[in-house]
Amino acid sequence: MYDHNGEEIFVIDGHVHLWDATEGNITHEGGEEFIQCFYDYHTTFTPEERQWSIEEYRKYGAERMVEDLFENAAADMAIFQPTYLTDFYGDGFNTTEQNAELATEYPERFVLNGSFDPRDGEAGLEHLEELNETYDLQGVKVYTAEWRDESKGWRLDDEAAFEYLEKCEELGIENIHAHKGPTIRPLNRDAFDVADIDDAASSFPNLNFVVEHVGLPRLDDFCWIAAQEPNVYGGLAVAAPFAQNRPAKFSEILSELLWWLGEDRVLFGSDYAIWNPDWLVEAVLEAELTQDDRMEYGVEWDLETKRKVMGENAAELYDIDIDEKKAQFREDEISERFDLEDHYASDAPAAADD
Amino acid sequence: MTGPTSDGPTREAVRDRLDRVTDPELDRSIVELEYIDVIEIDAGTVTVHLTLPTAWCSPAFAWMMAVDSRTEVEKLPAVERARIYHHEHMHEIEINRGVNAGRSFPEAFPDAEDTVDAVRAELDRKARTARQYDAVEALLEGGLESETIVSLRPTDLERTDGDDRLSIYLADRAVGVSVPAEPIDRYLEKARETGLVDDETDPLFLTPEGEPIDPAEFELVHRRGRLAQVNMSSQGGICDGLRESRERRLGGVAND
């Protein structure tokens, strides 16, 4: 747990990947463009001394991921968000199966999400059922801009997508994470348009729609939709690292989110390995809203809000009992391995984070 | 050609035209954003070289900036022909060839399903919404009430104190307020360009959807203007950062 001036904050990293972008796995030039574009985002918003080489970045593996997330207790839990991209990568870029390697080894620490693509038709619906049987899914990540043969993307308000959302409802998969973020070349910009969330969210009031990357560069469209649809949430991945080298901008984005969505509907995510929670969590928790923004928006980035955004809101969506988790983490394998037992001791103060 | 041989435009005149071209996503001048690398003038032929912050910048946006640059520079009487070249862009060949040959976007990109018109209209809408925020802020600071602001028409704006102030008279001219003209002119430029404020008696300010503002909705519409600004400047932060990291990677190559 993060120790914030003597106060414990339970951190659920809402957006992590375990990907493979090694050259051997790339089957289409789009795969190389994609990882290079990710790498640009990595270097742009990572402190220089924490940047990885492109070779490390292509494939870091399960071991390193466990260390980055948990070794210094930056995160307590993490949610895998798969990104298939099977037209670009032979074995897929970051599939549920790839993520399952870690998620099934440390089920107490990871939430494993599935994925669907309505263009897969009947076979895709069956596959979703199988995934659900194997992994007991609570959520899916969808990537509306993914290429599939001639198609350059799909929309969540398509008739075909609605069939999948009905299936999710039926299977009890309640959390739909939609990547709506910056243009990742070579994917088409319009396929990340957020407008489709509006109709999907009002048609499926029992599902939660988490818009990843808060729709950037369509923060305005996203907030406007979220203000009207109570089951729409914002995932902070991409916005979060602004805290590190664009603090005034971070303050403004966060103020807008808190003003339009409120403190219960914003979720932290690192987007690991684009950014690493081992420095990002601290950057976000130590960030402050500017005096001007606090006056203008009337919102606060205080302890209560931080606890919600960094963990409690995700816990609510995924039925995670944080107190129960703390008790469990007093003696789980990860705590043992990294000597974190004291961290989760009920009445002892958390170990200093740095 | 039998026309007179021109000495060509001045560099300042070309920069001044280019200054009117905006990055459509950020609504800021491409000159101010330092996208322009070199301007070459050879009699009536002007060649502009530009580099965007990242090679991944949307081809549609890159296309718009090239077309707009060409159109603006060719407005100068001394210019017969303007050529625009993007550099370090992943689609520079298609864009440079297409724009300089006067083709349409779908002609240049066989993959593209449509022209850039819809994208342009959407970004213009956002730019108008964001500019309205500054204009309305100026009026609020000048002491106008929200009910008055939503009822204003272009004809209510009077230039009295020279070019940089506007006056608005209320209550049968019993009361007058004076406000800086710049934010209002900047807003009006976009509102007129998009055809929403056509007539001097049209409502001056509108919702993002282009409707007159219900006084009860004033605050919400105003907040949406601010949100549009935050969105654009956040994206500006991303573009800026991507450019810095590219320059670091290329060993600190400066523009000049």
- Select from A44, A51, A184, A192 the residue whose CB has the most chain B CBs within 10 Å, as the one to mutate to test that interface: A44
Q: How far apart (Å, rounded) are the C-alpha atoms in residues B15 and B73?
A: 9
pLDDT reported for residue A185: 56
Q: How confident is the model at residue A342 (pLDDT cuts 50, 70, 90)?
A: confident
Please report the ipTM that was assigned to this predicted complex: 0.90
Together in a domain, A172 and A83: no
Contact A40 B56 (CB under 8 A): yes
On the question of pLDDT at A352 being above 60, the answer is: no
> Looking at chain B, which residue has its C-alpha nearest residue A244?
B241
Eight-class DSSP state of A312: I
CA distance A186 to chain B (A): 8
Together in a domain, A154 and A226: yes
By residue range, what is the domain housing residue A105? 1-109+267-290+299-354
DSSP string, A98-167: HHHHHHTTSTTTEEE-EE--GGGHHHHHHHHHHHHHHH--SEEEE-TT--BTTB----TTSHHHHHHHHH
Contacts of A185 in chain B (CB under 8 A): 55-56, 90
Q: How far, rounded to the nearest angstrom, does the alpha carbon of residue A213 sit from its chain's CA centroid? A: 8
Instruction: Kindly list the domain boundaries of chain B, sorted by start residue.
Output: 11-115, 118-208+216-221
Distances (CA, A) of A284 to A51, A74, B129: 18, 11, 30
Contacts of B119 in chain A (CB under 8 A): 189-190
Together in a domain, A85 and A122: no
On the question of pLDDT at B211 being above 60, the answer is: yes
CATH 3.10.20.30: does it fit domain B11-115?
A: no
Together in a domain, A84 and A162: no
How many beta-carbon pairs under 8 angstroms link A with B? 74
Q: Residue A259 falls within a domain, yes or no?
A: no
Q: Residue A241 falls within a domain, yes or no?
A: no
Q: What are phi and psi of A176, to 5 degrees?
A: -105, 110
DSSP string, A53-98: PHHHHH--HHHHHHHHHHTT-S-SEEEE--B--TTTBTT-SB-HHH
Task: Order the strands of the A114-115 sheet from edge to edge.
Answer: A114-115, A139-142, A175-179, A208-212, A232-235, A266-267
Q: How far apart (Å, rounded) are the C-alpha atoms in residues A2 and A28?
A: 41
Q: How far, rounded to the nearest angstrom, does the alpha carbon of residue A66 sit from its chain's CA centroid? A: 16
Quickly tell me which residue has 């090694």 as its tokens: A22
> Per-residue pLDDT tens for A27-46?
998 899 889 889 989 999 99
Q: Residue A243 falls within a domain, yes or no?
A: no
> Per-residue pLDDT tens for A107-138?
999 999 999 999 999 999 999 999 999 999 99
Q: How far apart (Å, rounded) are the C-alpha atoms in residues A269 and A234?
A: 10
> Per-residue pLDDT tens for B138-152?
999 999 999 999 999
Instruction: Identify the CATH number of the domain in which residue A206 sits.
Output: 3.20.20.140
CA distance B17 to chain A (A): 28
Question: How, if at all, do strands B45-51 and B81-87 pair?
Answer: parallel
> Per-residue pLDDT tens for A196-246?
999 999 999 999 999 999 988 899 999 999 999 999 999 999 999 999 989
> Looking at chain B, which residue has its C-alpha nearest residue A241?
B238
Q: Residue A350 falls within a domain, yes or no?
A: yes
- Closest Cβ–Cβ partner in A45, A183, A259 for B58: A183
Contacts of B231 in chain A (CB under 8 A): 216-220
| Contact by Cβ (8 Å): B76, B82 | no
| Contact by Cβ (8 Å): B83, B117 | no
